[in-house]
């Protein structure tokens, strides 16, 4: 999974619930900048779901009808490689090239402002994966 993802959960009434997924990459130590792969502990990685928008630089946006949430969770739990992530993006992701991108971005920001008026800001999409 990308380091930071925002899920737009579509409820039956058309409203959105925003959830952030944070991928924590485990390391044996973080004292050095180089040779990171030699210190990675991928079996200890975690994925945390947090209510609302956490962070300003999402790497991925996912739109999920609430009824499809079990399917999304199952697909995430089976991710093994970049091809799996690409298929997940095909099914649930919103790439910058998606015709829905800007309308969903507007809806995301509107909900962000409603739920967290003191913290809401414009998200920086420069790190969004488009593959």
Residue 74 CA, chain-centre distance (Å), reads: 15
Going from N- to C-terminal start, the domains of the chain cover: 4-127
Over range 42-67, report the average pLDDT: 92
Instruction: Give pLDDT, residue 131.
Output: 63
DSSP 52-112: S---S--SEEEEEEGGGHHHHHHHHHT--SHHHHHHHHHHHB--TTSTTHHHHHHHHHHHH
**pLDDT tens for residues 1-40?**
999 999 999 988 878 999 999 998 888 888 888 888 888 8
């Amino acid at each position: 999974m990308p380091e930071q993802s925002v899920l737009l959960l579509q409820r039956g009434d058309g409203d959105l619930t925003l959830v952030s997924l944070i991928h924590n990459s485990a390391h044996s130590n973080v004292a050095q900048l180089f040779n990171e792969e030699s210190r990675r502990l991928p079996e200890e990685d975690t994925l945390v779901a947090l209510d609302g928008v956490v962070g300003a630089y999402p790497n991925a946006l996912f739109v999920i009808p609430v009824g499809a949430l079990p399917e999304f969770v199952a697909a995430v739990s089976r991710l093994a490689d970049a091809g799996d992530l690409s298929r997940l993006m095909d099914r649930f992701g919103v790439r910058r090239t998606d015709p829905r991108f800007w309308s969903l971005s507007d809806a995301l920001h509107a909900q962000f402002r409603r739920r967290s008026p003191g913290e809401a800001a414009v998200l920086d999409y420069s790190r969004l994966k488009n593959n």
